[in-house]
Amino acid sequence: MSAGGPATLFADLHPQVAWERDTLRIGYRMVDAHRRLDGERGLVLVPTVFAWPGVFSQQSPPWQPGLVYPPRGVATLWETAGNAVPEGLARVIGRTRAWLLTELDAPASTSELAERTGLSAPNVSHHLAALRGASLLARHRTGRTVLYLRTDAAELLLQAVQADG
C-alpha cells in the first residue's frame, strides 16, 4: 500500500476486486457494485477462509465499509502432504516418530498433530512421550494447551540426516 497505493493493494487481492479512480469496484455475477470510500470511514479488509472462492462487501450504515475475501493459499489449507520423512531417521527411531519430529517445525499440541497426521491423539501422545524421553522434544504449557517443540538435539539430528539425504 505504501509503495503502490490502493491500486497495487487491490490488484491481486481477488479477480473480482479492482481499484479504479478512487472507487473500489467489486464484480459479482449479476451485479457490478461500485463503492466510493470517503477518507474518514476507511475500509476494513477481512481475510477469511469461509469466503472462498467468492468475495463479499458491506457498506450498510452505521457499520464501517468492509471487504471480506479469501486469503492467498486458502486452497492448500487442508492439504496433508506434510514434511518429508528422512529415511535414515525413520530406520533408527521409526517412521511415525520421525514423521512427528519433522512435523514439529513449529510448536504444536497433541491434538493438532493428530489432526494434521490422521493419527489418533493417544498414538501421537505415546510417540511424543518417547521422543521427549530421548530429549528430542520439550514441552511448554500455554493455558490449557501443552505445546511440543524440538530440542537443539533434534534440530542437529534433522540437519545431519537431511545433509546426508
77-102 confidence digits (pLDDT tens): 655 555 678 888 888 899 999 999 99
* Cis geometry, peptide bond prior to residue 47 (ω within 30 degrees of 0): no
Give how far the C-alpha of residue 163 lies from the chain's centroid of Cα atoms, to the nearest Å.
27
Domain boundaries, the chain: 5-75, 87-164
- Quote the CA–CA distance of 151 and 156 in Å, as a whole number: 9
Higher pLDDT, 43 or 133: 133
C-alpha cell read off for 36: 466510493
- Quote the CA–CA distance of 31 and 43 in Å, as a whole number: 20
Query: What's the pLDDT tens digit per position in 3-41?
Result: 777 788 888 788 888 887 777 778 765 445 555 566 666
C-alpha cell read off for 102: 519433522
- Quote the CA–CA distance of 24 and 35 in Å, as a whole number: 5
Query: What's the pLDDT tens digit per position in 103-144?
Result: 998 899 999 999 988 899 999 999 999 999 999 999 999 888
Higher pLDDT, 106 or 163: 106
Please list the helix, strand and coil fractions of the chain in percent, rounded to the nearest 5, in that order: 40, 25, 40
What local confidence, expressed as pLDDT, does residue 151 receive? 96
The mean per-residue pLDDT over the stretch 48-68 comes to 79
Domain 87-164 has CATH 3.40.710.10: no
How does strand 66-69 pair with strand 44-47? Answer: parallel
Higher pLDDT, 75 or 62: 62
The chain-wide mean pLDDT, for the chain, equals: 82
DSSP string, 41-107: T--EEEE-GGGTT--EEE--TTSPPEEEEPPTTGGGTT----PPPPHHHHHHH-HHHHHHHHHTTS-
Confidence of residue 60 (pLDDT cuts 50, 70, 90): confident
What local confidence, expressed as pLDDT, does residue 137 receive? 97
Could you tell me the pTM of the whole model?
A: 0.52
Comparing C-alpha atoms, which of 33, 74, 67 is closest to residue 53? 74
